[in-house]
Amino acid sequence: MTHSSIHIDVELDKDKIPENITWRASDGKDEMQAAKAMLLALWDGADKSALRVDLWTKEMMVSEMADFFYQVFSTMSDTFKRATNQQELADDIKKFAKDFSRKFKAIQAEEEKNINV
C-alpha cells in the first residue's frame, strides 16, 4: 500500500488572520509552496456531513478570489462527473461557474465605471 500526505502551514497575525499559507504534498515538490487561499472539504461518512476549512491571506484580492472560485466550481464539475457519471448535473455546475464569472466581471466593470465618474 502506498502512503501519501499533505502538509499545510498557516501563519497567523496577532488577530489570528492568515498572513501566509504554505503547503507540500509528499509525492510532489520537496519545498513548501505558497498559496493565498485554500478550501479544504472532508466528508464525514458517519455524520453524513461536510467538514470545511476556508482560509485566505490579507493579500488575496477580490478579483483573485472570484477567479479562485470560478476554477474551484469548474473542477468540482469535473470531479462530480468522474465520481457519479452524471453529465447533465456536471454541465449545470460548469454553467453556474461560467455565469458566476460573467456576473462578477460585470459587477467589477460597473464598480470601476462608478469610481471613474
pLDDT digits (tens, 9 = 90+) for 34-92: 999 999 999 999 999 999 999 999 999 999 999 999 999 999 999 999 999 999 999 99
- Between CA 13 and CA 53 the distance in angstroms is 18
Confidence at residue 53, expressed as pLDDT on a 0 to 100 scale: 96
Identify residue 114 by its one-letter amino acid code.
N
Instruction: Choose among 18, 19, 25, 20: nearest CA to 4.
Output: 25
- Between CA 8 and CA 4 the distance in angstroms is 14
**114 band by pLDDT with thresholds 50, 70 and 90:** confident
Pull the grid cell for residue 6: 499533505
**112 band by pLDDT with thresholds 50, 70 and 90:** confident
- pTM summary value: 0.88
Per-domain residue ranges of the chain? 1-59, 61-117
